């Protein structure tokens, strides 16, 4: 297996894998996001490749508040996904390690991430690869309208 930095030639592959992680996002939305991200110096995509692409990691450089972070910019794992049959082969761990090395070489001293509060599998993965929990939140929203 090889971990490589994605390029514009990898848009379809990234979109395919991202859609597996975020099925509620449209392919068009993901495609636009990836194309924009690949042109930005604030976003990086990494692909795990064997004979085919088996996983991805999307990392951003955040210059605003990141819970628990003490330095800026903070490298942030926006998404990580590995196809089912490869999940026990440390593919995600290698993607995180690659992202960490890249972030360190670009001036970051911290790598952050988040997951859904009920995604215990992801929480266990994060802890296994060295992340420590810094915060739990539940967010709310209420629709409001102007009263005339």
What CATH number has the domain bearing residue 97?
A: 3.40.630.30
Burial of 83 (0-12, 13-18, 19+ CB in 10 A): middle
User: Is residue 143 in a domain?
Assistant: no
- Residue ranges making up the domain that contains 91: 2-128
User: Is residue 111 in a domain?
Assistant: yes
pLDDT in tens, 8-48: 999 999 999 999 999 999 999 999 999 999 999 999 999 99
Q: Using the 8-state DSSP alphabet, how is residue 107 labeled? A: T
Q: Output the pTM of the full model.
A: 0.90
The Cβ of residue 67 has, within 10 Å, a number of other Cβ atoms equal to: 12
């Amino acid at each position: 297996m090889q971990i490589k930095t994605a390029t514009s030639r990898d848009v379809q592959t990234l979109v395919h894998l991202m859609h597996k992680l975020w099925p509620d996002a449209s392919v068009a939305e993901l495609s636009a996001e990836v194309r924009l991200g690949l042109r930005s110096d604030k976003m990086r995509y990494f692909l795990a490749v064997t004979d085919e692409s088996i996983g991805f990691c999307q990392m951003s450089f955040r210059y605003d508040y990141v819970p628990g972070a003490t330095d800026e910019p903070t490298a942030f794992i926006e998404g990580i996904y590995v196809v089912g049959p490869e999940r026990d082969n440390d593919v995600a761990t290698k993607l995180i390690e690659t992202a960490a090395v890249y972030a360190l070489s670009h001036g970051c001293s911290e790598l952050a991430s988040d997951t859904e509060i009920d995604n215990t599998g992801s929480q266990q993965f994060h802890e296994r690869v060295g992340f420590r929990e810094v915060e739990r939140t539940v967010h709310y929203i209420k629709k409001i309208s102007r009263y005339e």
